[in-house]
């Protein structure tokens, strides 16, 4: 069967190579962040519409919704990129990072990184404050936030401690509770 002249093969290959080479012209240092943490960072602000804070939780001065990362920060700039331009009810999100929990800092959502002991300490300090505490795949019930990320079937899901939410005076919508893989309502030991 007649075949295409050989030089046309080279032309096709050369074109393909040129396209691929051009893809490398000017590669910037892309930030390495696993998809898992990109999803978790996105959750941190997407949880907010399903949470109702008491009125005193809002700072009339800044009017931001404050996402605090306490302890070890697994997100890097992913979290800043995630919340950039996002807002809820006209109020933009702001990211604050602190090595240890500063009780004077205003936080609406507080992600607790670091060891289980550090997390448990921070949770004790945050108890009763109008803050949605979030922990990352913690197994120890004492170190579990109101929202605790878990990976189920390769997907990032979360458990909710409704009793702890009530202690902190925040209301969580039923839609979010429905989406949780487990809801702890107190009386029971989580897990």
Partner 1 sequence: MGSHVDDRAGTRSPGSGRALHTLAAAGCVLAAAASVAAAQTVEDLARLSIEELAAIEVTSASRRAQPLSETAAAIYVITAEDIRRSGVGSLPEALRLAPNLQVARLNAYNYAITARGFNSPEAANKLLVLVDGRTVYSPFAGTVFWESVAVPLPDVERIEVISGPGGTLWGANAVNGVINIITRHSSESQGVLVDAGAGNAERKATVRYGGDIGDDATFRVYASRFDRSDTEPVLPNDTVPDAFRGSQAGFRMDLGDGDDAYTLQGDIYRNYTEFLDQTLRGGNVLGRWTRQLGPDSAFELQAYYDVKIRDYAVAYDSLKTFDVQAQHGLTFGDGHRFVWGGEYRVWRSLFESQVVFGFQEPEATLSVGSAFAQAEFALTPDLRLTLGSKVEVDSHTGANVLPNLRLAWQVDEAHMLWSAVSRAVRTPSRIDRELSGGGILVPAPDFRVEKLTAYEIGYRGQPTARSSLSVSAYYNVYDDLRTLGSTNGGLPFQLRNDMGGETYGVEAWGTYSVRDWWRLRAGFDWMRKDLDLEPGTADLSGRQAAGQDPRHQAQLRSEMDLGDGWWLDLALRRVGRVPPTRVPAYTEVDAHVGWQVTPALNLSLHGVNLLDETHPEVNNPATSPPRLIGRTIHAKLRAEF
- In terms of CB distance, is 122 or 165 closer to partner 1? 165
User: How would you classify residue 89: left for phi > 0, otherwise alpha for psi between -120 and 50, otherwise beta?
Assistant: left
Judged by CB under 8 A, does residue 6 bind partner 1? Answer: no
- In terms of CB distance, is 72 or 167 closer to partner 1? 72
Residues 138-177 that bind partner 1 (CB under 8 A): 151, 153-157, 175-176
Centre a 10 Å sphere on the Cβ of residue 89 and count the other Cβ atoms it contains.
8
Q: Which x/- pattern, by CB under 8 A, does the window 57-76 give for partner 1?
A: --------------------
Judged by CB under 8 A, does residue 188 bind partner 1? Answer: no
Question: Is 181:157 a contact under the CB 8 Å cutoff?
Answer: yes
Q: Which two tokens stand for residue 33?
A: 């962040």
Judged by CB under 8 A, does residue 132 bind partner 1? Answer: no
Judged by CB under 8 A, does residue 183 bind partner 1? Answer: no
Judged by CB under 8 A, which of 61, 103, 178, 189 binds partner 1? 178
Question: Is 43:158 a contact under the CB 8 Å cutoff?
Answer: yes
Judged by CB under 8 A, which of 84, 100, 105, 142 binds partner 1? 84
Judged by CB under 8 A, does residue 96 bind partner 1? Answer: no
| Cα–Cα distance list, 31 to 18, 34, 43, 73 (Å) | 26, 10, 19, 15
- In terms of CB distance, is 127 or 173 closer to partner 1? 173
Question: Is 86:45 a contact under the CB 8 Å cutoff?
Answer: yes
């Amino acid at each position: 069967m007649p075949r295409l002249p050989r030089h046309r093969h080279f032309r096709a290959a050369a074109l393909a190579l040129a396209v691929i080479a051009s893809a490398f012209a000017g590669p910037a240092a892309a930030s390495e962040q696993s998809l898992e943490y990109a999803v978790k960072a996105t959750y941190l602000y997407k949880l907010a519409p399903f949470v109702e804070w008491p009125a005193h939780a809002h700072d009339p001065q800044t009017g931001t919704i404050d996402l605090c990362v306490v302890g070890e920060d697994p997100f890097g700039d992913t979290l800043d990129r995630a919340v950039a331009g996002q807002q809820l009810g006209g109020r933009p999100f702001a990211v604050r990072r602190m090595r240890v929990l500063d009780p004077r800092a205003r936080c609406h959502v507080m992600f607790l990184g670091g060891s289980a002991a550090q997390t448990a300490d921070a949770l004790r300090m945050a108890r009763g404050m109008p803050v949605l505490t979030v922990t990352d795949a913690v197994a120890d019930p004492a170190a579990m936030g109101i929202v605790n990320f878990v990976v189920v079937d390769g997907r990032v899901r979360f458990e909710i401690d409704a009793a702890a939410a009530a202690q902190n005076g925040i209301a969580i919508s039923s839609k979010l509770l429905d989406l949780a893989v487990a809801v702890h309502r107190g009386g029971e030991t989580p897990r």
